[in-house]
Structure 1
Amino acid sequence: MAAKPVPGTPSWLRETNDRTALSLLLEHGALTRNRIGELSGLSKPTAAQMVSRLETAGLIHAVGEISGGRGPNAASYAVRTDRMLGVAIDIDSHAMRSTVVDASGHEHPIATTQLSRAARDRSPEADVRAAIDAACQAAGIASATVGAVCIGVQGALDPRTDELSFIETLPGWPKKGIRKHLEDAIGLSVHIDNDVNLAAIAERTDGAGRDSAGFALLWMGDGLGLSVDQAGAVHRGASGGAGEIGYLPIPRSAAELDPAAEDLQDLIGGPAVARIARGFGMRGRSYSALVAAIPSAPMADREALLAELAPRVAVGVVPVLALLDPELVVLGGPTGSAGGARLAELVGKHLRKAWGSSTIVATAVPQHPVLRGAREHLLAEVRTALFAEVSRISA
C-alpha cells in the first residue's frame, strides 16, 4: 500500500488536483480542459496536466468536441464508467430485481428474474450470478466488468458473525458465513443489508427524509419493518436485527380493531391488508395485486378502506413515537405507497391528540426503493474505487 502523500509536496498537489478534476467530471458530466480549469480555479496548464494524467491512467476519455468560436474545437472529457461497475440487487420470496451501477450515477434498466421456492433449485451464488447476468444483459455490458454487488434481503445480517436471520424468503441460502461464502464463490465485493434499511437510504437521498434531521421509516409490505435514520446514518443494532417491529404484541386498547390479531404483523401485515382490501371490493389473487389496486379504486371505496386501515397503522406508529420521538415518520412499503398522502393524513389525525408534534408522511420513493438504496451504497463504493486509482497514479 502506497504511503499517503505529505501535504504540500508535489505528489500531494497532484493527487489533490486530480481528485478535484475527477469530482468535477462526476458532478457536471463532460467538460473541456478549459472548463475544468475555470471550475477548479486552476490555470490552463495545470488543468491540461490533470486531464493528461487521468486520461493516460484510463480514468477519463475524450467523448466529443465543443465549439469555442474562433479556432479549433476543444475536446470534451468524461469519466470512464466501465472501469468499475456494481450491481444492485433486491431479492424477495418470488423474484430478484437488479440493475447496473456506474460512477456517473446514470440509471440503467432494471431486470427482473423469477425465483424458485424450492431450496434444491437455489444457492446464494446461483441467485446472485443470475441477477448480475440479467442486469448486465439489460444494460448491454459485459458482466466481467462488475466488481461489487449490494444485496437487499428480507432478513438481517449480523456484522459480528456474518450470520443471516429471518431468512424464510431465501431457501437454499446458508445462515452462517453468507457474505464470505458469496465473495469466495463469485469473486466480487459483497454487501448485504436489510431491505428496509436500504429503502431508508433511498428515502434520505431522494425522498421524504431528504431535508430532515432524522426520520423513521415504517415499511408495510407482506411483512413489516422499521428503519431509523439518525442524521443520515441508519441504526442497525448490535446484531443487525433492529427494526423487526412486526413481532410487537398488540396493546389491549387496540384489541377491538382486530380481536384475532396478536402482533403488529397480524394487524397491518400483508395478509391483513389483503383481507381488508377484498372487503372493500379490490380484486386480486395476492397481497401485491390487491394493494396495487387501491390507488385506482372508486373514491368512496378507497376512502372507506383507508379509514379502516389508518387506526391500525397508528397502533404501529405509537411505539416508534414513544421510544424514538423522530422528527418524521414515513409510511413506506407497498401499503404506505398505495395509501399515499391520504393514509398519512388519516394516521396523523389518529395520533394528533396524544402526539401533537409528530409528522406523518407518505414515502416519496414509490418505485423500487430497496433497489435505489442499494444503488446509493454502490455509487459511493464505485466512486471510492475510482478515487483510490487517482491516489495510485498521483503518487
Structure 2
Amino acid sequence: MPAGIVGLLGTRGPTSRVDISRELGLSPATVTQVTKDLIARGLVEQLESVPSNGGRPARLLGLVRQAGVALGAKVTADHIAIVTVELDGSVRTSTTRPFDPSAPDAVHLLGRILAAEVDGLAERLLGVGVGVPGSVDAQASGVVDAPTFGWQAMPVGQTLRDRLGTPVLVDNDVNTLAAAERLYGVGRAHSSYLVVTIGRGIGCGIVVDGSVYRGAAGGAGEIGHIPVTADGPVCGCGATGCLEAYIGAAALKGRGVEAFAEAGELLGRVLAGIVHTVDPEVVVLMGEGVDDWQHWEPAFEASLRRCLLPARRGLPVVVEPWTEDQWARGAASLVLASPFDSSGNGGEQGRLVRARLGTADV
C-alpha cells in the first residue's frame, strides 16, 4: 500500500488524497493514515491547496525528491553514461566514463567504475539500473546476451550486486526508455505504446497495459533485425537484409539526404506492421537519429500513413528531443519504477529497493 501511493505520486505528480483514494481504490481513512506515515518518514510532503468542488480546498501531496536516488548506467561500445536521478525523475549528476565491453574483464571493470559513483551516495541510494544493447533474461537476474559486445550469458546483475552491495536491475536499453516513459512521459496518459529508437541500431520497447513486454527470454522488440529483403547488406547480427543494415547509423553515414528519405520510407513501412500487430495508442520516436528527423520525416509520414489500415491512420507519433542522459535516466527508472512494479519484473531486487525506500508492503 505505501509502495502503491509512492508509485502513484511518482507517475502522476502532486495529487490530492481524494484522487489517491479514487485511483487506488482505497478508503479515505486508509489513505489519510498511510500518507501521514509517509510524511512522517520524509518520503511525502504536503504542497499547495487547489480549489475543490465545494468544501475546503484540497491539499496536494508530492514526493520529497531528495528522499532517495537511483544510479543509472547506459553501457555502449566505447563508454558508459552515468546519472544519479532523484525520486521525481530529476537528473542530479551526469558523467561519462571510457569503457571497452570487449575486454576480458569488462563486467568487473564496469563494477569498479560504478563503485566509484556508488561510494558518494551513501544511504540515499535505492539501487542501480543498467541498460545494455542486448537481450536480458530478467531484470532481477541480469544475464545478458549482447552480440555487439561479444557477451554471451554474461552474469552482469550478479557480478555488479557482489561488487556494489546494492540492488541492481538490468534490462535492454530500449526497454529502459519505455519504462521511463511510463514514469515521466507518454505512459502517464497511455497504457499501451511503442518507444522506437533510431541511431546506431533500431530498437523498440513495447508497453502493453502499463507493463513493458519483454518476451519469453527478454528479447522482444528487436525490430532492427526484421528481414526486409531476401539478401542485401550484412547486418551486425550476421544476417543479411535486416532493417538495421539499411537504416542504422552505419548504413547512413556519409550518404546524402536521399538516404534519409529512403530510411524514413522503410521505417514507416515496418512500423505499420508493428502497429497492426501490437495496436498501440501512440508511438514515441527517440534516439540519436532524431537529430536529423527533418530529413526522415516526410518519407516516414507518407509511408506510415499509406501502409496503415484506414482506422489506424490517425495514430499519434511523438518525436522527443534527445540527449544521451535519457539512456542513463532510463536505466535509473528500472529502480524508480519498483514501488509500483505490479508485473513483478524487478523480482527480489525490486523488493529490496522498496525496502530501502521504506515502502515494502506487509
Fold shared, TM-score > 0.5 on shorter chain:
yes
**Which residue matches 1:107?**
91
**Which residue matches 2:354?**
384
CA–CA distance in 2 between the matches of 1:40 and 1:327? 32
SS at match of 1:175: strand
CA–CA distance in 1 between the matches of 2:224 and 2:184? 26
- The TM-score normalised by the length of structure 1 is 0.64
CA shift for structure 1 position 215? 1.4
Alignment of 1:1-395 (within 5 A): 15=34, 17-19=36-38, 25-26=44-45, 28=47, 81=66, 84-103=68-87, 105-120=89-104, 122-134=105-117, 141-142=120-121, 146-159=125-138, 162=141, 164-170=143-149, 175-208=153-186, 210-251=188-229, 262-274=241-253, 278-280=254-256, 301=257, 304-335=258-289, 337-340=290-293, 343-355=296-308, 356=310, 357-358=312-313, 359=315, 361-367=317-323, 368-381=325-338, 384-385=354-355, 388=358
CA–CA distance in 2 between the matches of 1:104 and 1:351? 35
CA–CA distance in 2 between the matches of 1:81 and 1:175? 36
Aligned partner of 1:347: which letter?
Answer: F
SS at match of 1:250: coil
Query: What 5-or-longer segments of structure 1 have no aligned partner?
Result: 1-6, 30-37, 42-77, 281-300
Percent of residue pairs bearing the same amino acid type: 24
SS at match of 1:166: strand
SS at match of 2:178: helix
Aligned partner of 2:192: which letter?
Answer: G
CA–CA distance in 2 between the matches of 1:249 and 1:364? 27
**Aligned residue pairs, count:** 305
Q: Is the 1:208–1:364 Cα contact (8 Å) retained in structure 2? A: no
Comparing 106-115 with 350-359, greater Cα deviation is found at 350-359
CA–CA distance in 2 between the matches of 1:105 and 1:340? 26
Aligned partner of 1:232: which letter?
Answer: G
Query: What 5-or-longer segments of structure 2 have no aligned partner?
Result: 1-25, 49-56, 233-238, 340-352
CA shift for structure 1 position 176? 4.9
Q: Is the 1:217–1:329 Cα contact (8 Å) retained in structure 2? A: yes
Q: Is the 2:200–2:249 Cα contact (8 Å) retained in structure 1? A: yes
Larger strand proportion, structure 1 or 2? 2
